């Protein structure tokens, strides 16, 4: 068992592991128990009653959080001609084509958080599949990162768009914002994410869809939320 510091142990004493909190209570606790000297990220973890091995039980997509994540993410856009100019005008941090592929391959360059590409550029981006794929950076139509509307794609990322995806253990992990956010803002982001996951429920899902819901800070203990009352309303 990993040994935690005194601050973590003190915070853990404020939280009951047996209690399933209402969302409002959970966010009040997360603010109270955050003790790090930096502005911690608040994370949401949801265990879904799905089998990740089945193609008809996948959950993947993206959503713009109403209050953002508290972090500005840099965007690399693969585009040419007018679409490249459009991406630059929208605020993309890096725009290019084959030159960017070469930079990533030869320099091991990864000074970006999100990759967007126009459909005609996917043949070029495909050369980076083995590099971008494991890092979760490969553009995908399901998350809106393969599109001709590069303006919308870049603006949404800058506004606080986050991606969600079912992992091999049937969990979804998504950042909700920062500890410095008001409880209301965290709750609004949380509600948006939960509603999005509910809408993304596969038709093949059986029984109780959300098995476990919890929030935590970067350095703090988890706080379980009642999956029967998941929404902050």
Q: Is the pLDDT of residue 12 over 60?
A: yes
Query: Do 57 and 49 form a contact (C-beta atoms < 8 A)?
Result: no
Query: Do 102 and 66 form a contact (C-beta atoms < 8 A)?
Result: no
Q: Coil, strand, or helix at residue 204?
A: coil
pLDDT score recorded for residue 200: 95
Q: Is the pLDDT of residue 26 over 80?
A: yes
**Which residue from 211, 208, 213 is spatially nearest to 225, judged by alpha carbons?**
213
Q: pLDDT tens across 160-209, in order?
A: 999 999 999 999 999 999 999 999 999 999 999 999 999 999 999 999 99
pLDDT score recorded for residue 17: 82
pLDDT score recorded for residue 35: 82
H-only helix segments in the chain: 6-13, 23-33, 81-90, 98-107, 122-125, 129-132, 150-159, 183-199
% residues pLDDT > 70 (the chain): 93
Q: pLDDT tens across 114-165, in order?
A: 999 999 999 999 999 999 999 989 999 999 999 999 999 999 999 999 999 9
Distance, CA of 109 to CA of 88 (rounded, Å): 20
State both tokens at 146: 């393969």
| pLDDT category of residue 227 using cuts at 50, 70 and 90 | confident
């Amino acid at each position: 068992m990993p040994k935690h510091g005194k601050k973590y142990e003190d915070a853990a004493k404020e939280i009951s592991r047996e209690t399933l909190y209402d969302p409002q209570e959970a966010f009040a606790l997360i603010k109270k128990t955050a003790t790090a000297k930096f502005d911690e990220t608040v994370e949401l973890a949801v265990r879904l009653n799905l089998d990740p091995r089945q193609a008809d039980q996948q959950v993947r997509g993206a959503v713009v959080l109403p209050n953002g994540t508290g972090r500005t993410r840099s965007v690399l856009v693969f585009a040419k001609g007018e679409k490249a100019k459009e991406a630059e005008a929208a605020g993309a941090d890096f725009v290019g084509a084959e030159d960017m592929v070469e930079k990533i391959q030869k320099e091991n360059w990864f000074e970006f958080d999100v990759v967007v590409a126009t459909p005609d550029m996917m043949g070029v981006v495909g050369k980076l599949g083995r590099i971008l794929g494991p890092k979760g950076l490969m553009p995908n139509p399901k998350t809106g990162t393969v599109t001709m509307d590069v303006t919308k794609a870049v603006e949404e990322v800058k506004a606080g768009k986050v991606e969600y995806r079912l992992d091999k253990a049937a969990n979804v992990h998504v950042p909700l914002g920062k500890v410095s956010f008001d409880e209301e803002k965290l709750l609004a982001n949380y509600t948006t994410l939960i509603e999005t996951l509910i809408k993304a429920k596969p038709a093949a899902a059986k029984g109780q869809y959300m098995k476990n819901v919890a929030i935590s800070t970067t350095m703090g203990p988890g706080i379980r939320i009642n999956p029967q009352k998941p929404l902050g309303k």
